[in-house]
A and B are shown apart, each in its own frame.
Chain A
Amino acid sequence: MSPQELSHHQAAADDRTLFGFWIYLMTDLLMFAVLFAVYAVLHNNTFGGETGRELFKLPLALAETLILLTSSFTCGIGMIAARRGNKNQVLIWFGITFILGLAFLGLELAEFSSLISEGHTLHSNAFMSSFFVLLGTHGLHISAGLLWMGTTLGYIMKRGLNNSMVRKLTMLSLFWHFLDIVWIFIFTIVYLRAFV
């Protein structure tokens, strides 16, 4: 049965599941909002240490942004393939999304380790604490998303693309676009703002 042939009853059940997941995303967004508020309040409290302008590298942040935007796009293309029931295209596009997500995570971890090796840690000052907590929380979400994507793709490879998989992919794509939105605000408020 192709996804277009879903019975009316099952489509309604899917809509309820998606709405439940949407509510989760919105509460998660509230948590990020609180972390943003903390960062906005504390970002000047460097305790005499370096400010964001001296620590951040804008080209790196731009690269991370472009990678995540592209992965959001490929994830969307993957969803079109999923609704058509095209298993191979789903594997290709979500595979690209997965690799881009890994690349993003790699860049973020590289930035963290370079900051930590220069002595700027979670404990340095309030600015660094709020920075690491905000970006770390986003990074953890990306890691969870990658784990989710990896297992779902493994399942699809083994058992094929069925309706329940399409529903999972839909939620996964919502989650991924959501993380992209959060990152846009990190890019603007954390990175760009430091150079204003």
Chain B
Amino acid sequence: MSSESHTPDGERGTMRSYVIGFILSLVFTFIPYFMVVNHTVKGPALLATILGFAVLQMLVQVIFFLHLGRGPKPKWNLFFFISTVGIILVVVAGSIVIIHNLHYNMAPPEQVKKLVNDEGIAQVSGQKTGACQEVLVNHQVTITNGQVTPAHTTAHTCDTLTFYNQSSSTLTLKYITEGPYPHETYAGETELTIRKGQGMTINLSETGTYQFYDKSQTTTAGDFTINP
């Protein structure tokens, strides 16, 4: 096999370059796969890492399999490839940024309520939204393997409520509301996904009594009452 690197077609691809490329591409597949499965890094950092590995993987394919840039000069293939990648970056990144902005600013009513609460917008079109300007009291509910402590919470508007997940798995809380919005939402939130060992805080901006339950274990439930 070693003699192959001296053949006339060496510049187009040898056994050696294909084997190296194949091994590297396997490595760059397994590393992000196990990072995702084991959650070694979390959130945006993990996303950035796996995207980085995808780009590395692409470079391996381009260099070792497509042999880009190794042909005779001028390297029009390479120029065309780079300009295409440039257009792709503009199109994809631009679309994501623009649509995300649009989605955030021009959203359905439920989303608008969440936006109003998150941003503390006091009034919209001359009407008071009831969104809170400052946090008064933080209430806490801890959920440990089906046990909700305390099961009942009483609070005032503009307090906050933090759910802590001490269970051994991820919790997905859903709400039951009976007020003017007979959906499974609270203040624009449809559900709350809390990883084990973590906590999530909601703003208590709507008055009334609301129940919540775990989506996968509906007996894990509790309620909170918000007085004006």
Contact = CB atoms under 8 A, between A and B. Distances in A.
B91 A26 contact: no
Interface string B25-37: 1100100110011
Interface in A59-78: 62, 65-66, 69-70, 72-73, 76-77
B91 A192 contact: no
B21 A188 contact: no
B14 A69 contact: no
29 contacts: A4-B8, A19-B76, A30-B84, A30-B91, A33-B92, A37-B92, A37-B96, A40-B92, A40-B95, A40-B96, A41-B95, A41-B100, A69-B22, A69-B26, A72-B25, A77-B18, A80-B9, A80-B18, A83-B12, A84-B9, A180-B61, A180-B65, A185-B54, A188-B54, A192-B33, A192-B36, A193-B47, A195-B36, A196-B43
B13 A76 contact: yes
Contacts, number: 116
Contacts of A29: 84, 88
Majority secondary structure, B binding face: helix
A175 to B, nearest CB: 11
Majority secondary structure, A binding face: helix
Nearest to A11: B72
Contacts of B43: 196
Size band of the interface chain A makes with B: 35 or more
B87 interface: yes
B9 A192 contact: no
Given A19-B76, A33-B92, A181-B62, A77 B8 contact: no
Nearest to B99: A41
A23 B13 CA distance: 21
Contacts of B151: none
Contacts of B9: 4, 80, 83-84
Contact of A196 (B7, B15, B18, B46): B46
A41 B96 contact: yes
Interface of B: 4, 7-9, 12-15, 18, 21-22, 25-26, 29, 32-33, 36-37, 43, 46-47, 50-51, 53-54, 57-58, 61-62, 65-66, 71-72, 76-77, 80-81, 84, 87-88, 91-92, 95-96, 99-100, 190
A66 B32 contact: no
Nearest to A182: B58
Given A41-B100, A196-B46, 14 more contacts: A29-B84, A29-B88, A30-B88, A33-B92, A41-B95, A41-B96, A69-B22, A72-B61, A83-B9, A177-B66, A181-B62, A188-B51, A189-B51, A192-B32
A109 interface: no
A36 interface: yes
